[in-house]
Structure 1
Amino acid sequence: MIAPVRRIAVVMLFVFALASTMPVRAAPAGGTLRIGIDVDAGTLDPRLANDTTARRVIEQVYDGLVELDAQLQPRPALAESWTQVSPTVWVFKLRKNVRFHDGTPLTADDVVFTYQTILDPGLRAPLRGLVTPISKIEAVDPETVRFTLSAPYAPLLKYVDGSQAGGIVSRRAVERLGAEYASNPVGTGAYKFVSWQRNSRILLEANPTSWRGRPSLNQIIFNIIPDNTTRAAAVESGDVDLIHSPLSPQDVRRLRTVSRVSVTQMTGLGHTYLNINQSDPILRDLRVRRALAHLIPQATIVRQIYQEMDRPANSILLPAWSGIYTEDITQPGHDIARAKALLAEAGWTDSNRDGILDRGGQNLALVVRTHSEDPNRIQVVELLISILRSSGIDARAEITEFPALVGALIAGTHQVALLGWLGLVDPDRGMYNQFHSKGSQNWERYTNPRVDALLDEGRQKADPQERARIYREVARIITADLPYYILTYQGYIVVVNRRVQGFVPIPSGSFRSLWQTSVP
């Protein structure tokens, strides 16, 4: 029925139009904020970004049509209002007189160009799967954009946020700069790009003509400091002003005693997980995957390595997904005897008594990968390797820099990989791309027609109870099939020098409050 939707749309239009006319809090300009970051960005093109550092920079340089608040509710950004005309048609009204950092005006054509290029398979946008339900996007006039969807799409507003798949690029700048645009970004955000010294730092400066008003800071410097302890020492000494996860528990404990900084810890919007390649000849056997899960000492890892800064995970569902999360879905528990029985059932025995399980003349060999920038994950992998070897598996670790790890995942050359997801603002964000057979981040090569159908259905349902039913069923299937083993629900830790004013950490990890942050 269209009429009820239209009545709701009128209310939405009024509320968001009112919000967009409310005065923005003025903040005194001043200071440089120095942020310590663990890895360099891969790109500063928001359509191609696939790492946390890039996202932190991008949300300063770019804006989306909307932005999510701390409760993950959309509020106006480049779109001052929006209307859901029908279940499959949304109309966004752009703010007037917004300009890109190069002085050119923002128009509906830039919005159309941004989403059309994301949807183009040739661009290989990592988050393309978030917007594939958009079947048509049109510039109604220079300040109005119409989205037509192939079906109702519940999480649309969360995905046109600038830190998800929605940072609006300048069509003129992209066409002028070509491949150079990725390292010379042009956005509408509160801060403008100045320079990027690879593996060293990224420098931004205030955009005095931002539609938000002049930002408080003069400059933001993202300093690339890969080693967690070195990064912690930098904020302790005052060499940087802000750092955030990943951090070692030992460093966090020490920083809590340092008077110059404040430490904030909260449950984040992410998890740490083992990606288990379903196309691997050994791991395609569910009995082997279940045996692997039974060998994981989850409680020990959380207690001894993460020192309870993360929480043990029971399923793919995040506790932050209120009304959807449940403790009733559980993964295989730590049970070495059961693991050995499953491996024997799968035909893996020590036929030649050399201490290594074998089958048909082949040893049971597994490589567990992770990335060098996170010492906690390295410790987890080292512990897992020890347990696997003691259980008769010829196991070894492979530790590489993060881009190489992601490259192996994309190529499907891995067996097991330990990594994590952040910014999972919606169950669809944490499942569709990862588990749908057409998902752009289905690096484990998982295929299940029932999961595909449920994930497609979940995108179309706005009713909270229906969504809970759907995503809980997906979680039960994932727990049974084990393309992932969810190790922990990530804690999110931010350490800030007390002289920094106005910075508000939120569970999503967004740094969007930096436009109101100052350093006297």
Structure 2
Amino acid sequence: MRRLLVPAVVAVLLAAGCSGDPVPSAPAPVDNTAMVLADASEPGSLNPLLGYAPYGAARFYDGLMEFGPTKVPQTVLAAQQPQPAPDGRSWTVKVRQDGVRFSDGSKLTVDDVVATYQALLDPVYASPLRASYDMLSAVVKVDASTVRFDLAYPYPALPTKLTLGILPHTALTPPGPLANSPVNAKPVGTGPYQLVSWTKGDRMVLQANKSYFGGAPKVSKVTVLFQPDDAKRAEQARAGQLDGAEVSPQQAVAFAKVDGVRVITQDSADFRAITLPTANRVTGDKAVRLALNYAVDRKALIGSALAGKGSPAYTPMPGSMPEFIETQATYRYDKAEAARVLEQAGWVPGADGVRAKDGVQARFTLLYPTGDTERAAVAQAFATQVKAIGVQVEATALAPEAITARGGADAQVLGGGDPFNPDTGFAPVLHTGGALNPGGYSNAQVDTALDNARKATDPARRATAYRQAQRAYTADPGLVVLAFVNHTYVVHDEWTGYQPVTEPAVHGALGWGPWWNLQTWGPR
């Protein structure tokens, strides 16, 4: 373990949101094969069929394919790139036959691949991922080395859906709800690491898989501490308890002044947006929605709330997919236009400066997770800016589960997105009934364009459809999309192995983050 010895900058970190006095101590004995990381979130399950590591970079599992520095999925358990049928209604995949083994000692076979995807499709297993794989109609064993994915409709992006961690078929028998599976807490996979222990609410300990087909990792032991509070996590790093952690953008600025620590700023497709629930009498008003989009100075918000670690955004389509971006789908910063839109719709200022219409004041609550200093800063900056047009926003911290329960009534600071496939990172935010659409946004033109895009086999037609969706959305917005954030981390500089990558919203010590390729890391 390498320690982050940084007591000289305590005052700077205190100003960035940390608390506590310096804790000077003698350096602990160094173990250059063990690493201690801190994560903001703890997984509810380690079962890939229940949503663990949906974009790959799973510590315990491998998928047929994986993402990396390029947008093109690369083979892992697949022996070669997936091949589509001429009509686009099926894909065949050759599975590795070179002795890959699961952590229980069993050998990987086509049967394991088929069983994993069949369990995803079979209602008896109740996988929450089923809806996001509705393009799949069947998974068939062709021969001892080949599996075929039959589709309900052509889906050109299927290789991006093959990052799901593969389970041994024995872990999926007899059929039954996945909620009862032993794999949830005791993963069995082919990945570079194996679980030693999991103390829920505290930590997880991993050990290197010495028989990993890609070579045994040099980092032989990884301890992941779970700490949802940004300030406390940064304090752990300051006290020399960690080899790496995610920190808020403001804290990253302070850590940049620390010797022996590397601050990593990772590009991401992780957007920040303010949801505008349709059931709310204020946020459901189309004029209010449009006016709020004009009223926000996104560059200024990024500078103040994100310490400059981000880029302006107007829709959830990330810059990592420029071929799909509609450059005209934006809003200028124009408070006068925002006021005009509100006035025309009957929202007029009251004596207290807050607008009202038909006896309803332009007030609403904006929720963000307790302990999340970044989203708190975004919420406060947004509230400050829109107050200038007569809209009063009360930023309130709640536990994540409480925010989920109130998603249909109250606004929230929403995050999400992936840089690989707009059908999984963009469409769920804007499509009626989408998995990332807590506010209930619905627009028939947007839905039609998204449906056309996901089924288009011609790249040009697919891009055209996504651009149409963005134009239709910006004419009738259901969110205030603010920025794509950079994820910021601190890592002791005596570790090496970091490789830049654009990561999805899902990130941390157990998937993505700078440790997405942890199996290739080692002491410098």
| TM class, shorter-length | 0.7 to 0.9
| 1:286 aligned residue | 286
Q: How does 1:188-337 map to 2 (within 5 A)?
A: 188-244=190-246, 246-249=247-250, 251-331=251-331, 333-335=333-335, 337=336
| Post-superposition offset of 1:185 | 2.1
Change (3 A) 1:312 1:440: closer
In the aligned structure 2, how far is the partner of 1:434 from the partner of 1:121?
A: 25
Partner Cα separation in structure 1 for residue 274 and residue 392 of structure 2: 18
Question: SS at the partner of 1:152?
Answer: coil
Q: Distance in 1 between matches of 2:182 and 2:300?
A: 47
Structure 2, unaligned runs of 5 or more: 1-30
Aligned pairs (5 A) from 1:62-77: 62-77=61-76
Determine which structure has the larger helix proportion and give its number: 1
Mapped partners of 2:122, 2:383: distance in 1: 41
Matched residue, 1:38: 40
Q: Deviations over 1:146-201 (max 9, x none)?
A: 1011222121111212xxxx122334335478244322222221101222222321
1:201–1:224 CA contact under 8 A, matched in 2: yes
Aligned partners of 2:355 and 2:390 also within 8 Å: yes
- Aligned position for 1:24: none
Does the aligned pair in 1 maintain the 2:289–2:480 contact within 8 Å?
Answer: no
Residue deviations 1:378-418, cap 9 Å, x none?
Answer: 12212333455565445322312334333443xx3x33211
Quote the Cα distance in structure 2 between the aligned partners of 1:371 and 1:436.
Answer: 24
**Which consecutive residues of structure 1, in runs of 5 or more, have no partner in the other structure?**
1-28
Whole-Å separation in 2 of the counterparts to 1:203 and 1:386: 43
SS in 2 for 1:268: coil
CA contact (8 A) 1:271 1:487 kept: yes
Tell me what 1:489 maps to: 484
Partners of 1:123 and 1:424 lie apart in 2 by: 29
Q: Deviations over 1:317-356 (max 9, x none)?
A: 2221133335432125241x433333333333457x4554
**491-500 vs 112-121, greater mean Cα deviation:** 112-121
Give 3-state SS (helix, strand or coil) of 1:269's partner.
coil
1:421 corresponding residue in structure 2: 416
- 1:89 aligns with 90
Counterpart among 137, 140, 153 of residue 138 in structure 1? 140
What is the aligned counterpart of 2:518 among 491, 514, 520?
Answer: 514
Establish whether residue 168 from structure 1 lines up as the match of residue 166 from structure 2.
yes
Question: How far is 1:59 from its partner?
Answer: 0.8
2:434 paired with 1:439: yes
CA RMSD for the aligned pairs?
2.8
Are the counterparts in 1 of residues 433 and 440 from structure 2 also a CA contact under 8 Å?
no
Alpha-carbon distance in structure 2 between the residues aligned to 1:32 and 1:59? 19
The one-letter amino acid paired with 1:512 is W
Report % sequence identity.
27
Q: Select which of 460, 463, 467 maps to 2:462.
A: 467
Q: Is the 8 A contact 1:135 1:150 kept in 2?
A: yes
Amino acid aligned to 2:285: D
Distance in 1 (alpha carbons) for counterparts of 2:169 and 2:331: 47
Q: CA deviation at 1:231?
A: 2.7
Contact between 2:95 and 2:145, CA under 8 Å: does it hold in 1?
Answer: yes
CA distance in 2, matches of 1:56, 1:148: 21
Give the distance between the partners of 1:374 and 1:124, measured in 2 at CA: 31
Q: Who is 1:113 aligned against?
A: 115
| Amino acid of the structure 2 residue aligned with 1:286 | K
Taking structure 1 as reference, are residues 123 and 475 closer, same or farther at Cα in structure 2, changes over 3 Å only?
farther
Aligned residues of 1:44 and 1:57 also touching (Cα < 8 A): no
Determine the structure 1 residue equivalent to 2:6: none
**2:38–2:226 CA contact under 8 A, matched in 1:** yes
Cα deviations by residue, 1:88-128 (Å, 9 ceiling, x for unpaired): 21111222233222223333333233223333567665544
Letter in 2 for 1:75: Q
Residue 64 of structure 1: how far off its partner (Å): 0.8
Task: Indicate the residue corresponding to 2:101 in structure 1.
Answer: 99
Say whether the 8 Å CA contact 1:129–1:433 is kept in structure 2: no
Q: In structure 2, how many angstroms separate the alpha carbons of the residues matched to 1:326 and 1:452?
A: 16
The one-letter code of the counterpart of 2:102 is F
The 2-side partners of 1:459 and 1:129 are apart by 14
CA distance in 2, matches of 1:428, 1:65: 19
Mean Cα deviation higher: 384-393 or 420-429: 384-393
Q: Secondary structure at the match of 1:319?
A: coil
Q: Distance in 1 between matches of 2:104 and 2:493?
A: 35
- Which whole-Å deviations, capped at 9, do the CAs of 1:195-230 have from their partners, x for residues lacking one? 222232121111122222222221112112223344
CA distance in 2 between counterparts of 1:444 and 1:288 reads 14
- Alignment of 1:452 with 2:447, yes or no, is yes
Matches of 2:430 and 2:314, distance apart in 1? 18
Match of 1:346 in 2: 345
Distance in 1 separating the partners of 2:359 and 2:120: 48
Deviation at 1:435, TM superposition (A): 2.1
- Partner residue in 2 for 1:150: 152
TM-score, length basis structure 1: 0.83
Distance 1:194 1:493 in 2: 28
3-state DSSP of counterpart to 2:496: coil
TM-score (norm 2): 0.83
1:379 pairs with 2:377: yes
Is 2:371 aligned against 1:367?
no
Which whole-Å CA distance do the structure 2 matches of 1:75 and 1:354 have between them? 59
C-alpha spacing 1:147/1:275, structure 2 compared with 1 (3 Å): same
Q: 1:59 is paired with a residue of what secondary structure?
A: coil
- 1:249-277 CA distances to partner (integer Å, 9 max, x unpaired)? 2x222222222122232432222112222
**2:363 and 2:148 mapped to 1: Cα distance?**
53
**In structure 2, which of residues 495, 514, 517 is the aligned counterpart of residue 500 of structure 1?**
495
| CA spacing shift, 1:34–1:147, aligned 2, 3 Å | same
Q: Do the aligned partners of 1:67 and 1:77 also contact (CA within 8 Å) in 2?
A: yes
For the pair 1:79 / 2:78, whether they are aligned, the reply is yes
- Going from structure 1 to structure 2, the CA distance change for 1:308 and 1:124 (only over 3 Å counts) comes to farther
Are the counterparts in 1 of residues 320 and 419 from structure 2 also a CA contact under 8 Å?
A: no
